Structure 1
Amino acid sequence: MSVPKAFKDAMQYTTFFYDCLDEIMVEAGEVNRMRWAARRGMLELDLLLEPFVDQHYANLSAEDRETFEQFMTCQDQDLYAYLMQRVQPEDPKFAALVVTIRKLTGAPQA
């Protein structure tokens, strides 16, 4: 007994859909980890980082999420200088991330 072509096509589509969904969806644990990393205890940083993680982190590309995770390893005073646009990050990925964070959180642009 052979399997109808329509059934094979539906199974391929379903498999493809779930493979794509796995790539797109960010695990809740990853978001929670970044939410905790974004809580810095400095009001100015918290006002930008926490809403960014809550509202936008899950929609970032995998590369941008990795960059954000690396960004969170910076010292608070460096993050403050970058996000307040007092110093330009040397790493171009960090510089692009700062622009993204400020834009998505509604912070004034220089």
Structure 2
Amino acid sequence: MSYTATLAPDAASPKLTERELSKLHWRCRRGLLENDLFIEQFFMRFEPELTQRHAQGLTALMDLADNDLLDLLLCRREPDETLASAELNEVLSMLRLSGGTPALRT
């Protein structure tokens, strides 16, 4: 099964301003090169369409330790119930797609 991430238009979630994107880029700096590579590809692919909703999901992922984030990005594990949210799951799928990792496990 192939997966393509689409950014659903959401009137309740406005696009990020240039300043908000700049802050998000800064917030997404990581200690592991592997995480940085995923994040760099994510921004290259999706930056023009990112919304406040995506920023919330990405910020929640950035609160994780580097190794925990990498495990999620590489599909070694899925978000647990305390971490999972619609925003986080959407951004995680986008990050996995950007990094060339299969985005869905069914």
Give the structure-1-normalised TM-score: 0.65
Match of 1:100 in 2: 94
Aligned equivalent of 2:30, options 5, 16, 40: 40
1:58 positional shift: 4.1
Name the SS for the 1:95 alignment partner.
helix
For these two proteins, the number of residue pairs brought into alignment is: 87
After TM superposition, give the deviation of residue 49 of structure 1 in Å. 0.8
Deviations 1:37-87 (CA, angstroms, capped at 9, x unpaired) = 222021110110123134414412322221112221111111111101111
| Structure 1 ranges of 4+ moved more than 6 A | none
Extract unaligned runs of 5+ from structure 2. 1-10
Give the percent of matched residue pairs that are identical in Structure 1 and Structure 2.
24
Structure 1 unaligned runs (5+)?
1-19
Q: Alpha carbon RMSD of aligned pairs, Å? A: 2.2
Q: What's the secondary structure of 1:45's corresponding residue? A: helix
Do the aligned partners of residues 65 and 58 (structure 1) sit closer, same or farther apart at CA in structure 2, a change above 3 Å counting? farther
CA displacement, residues 9-36 of structure 1 (integer Å, 9 cap, x when unaligned): xxxxxxxxxxx9xx44x22221111112
Greater Rg, structure 1 or structure 2?
A: 1
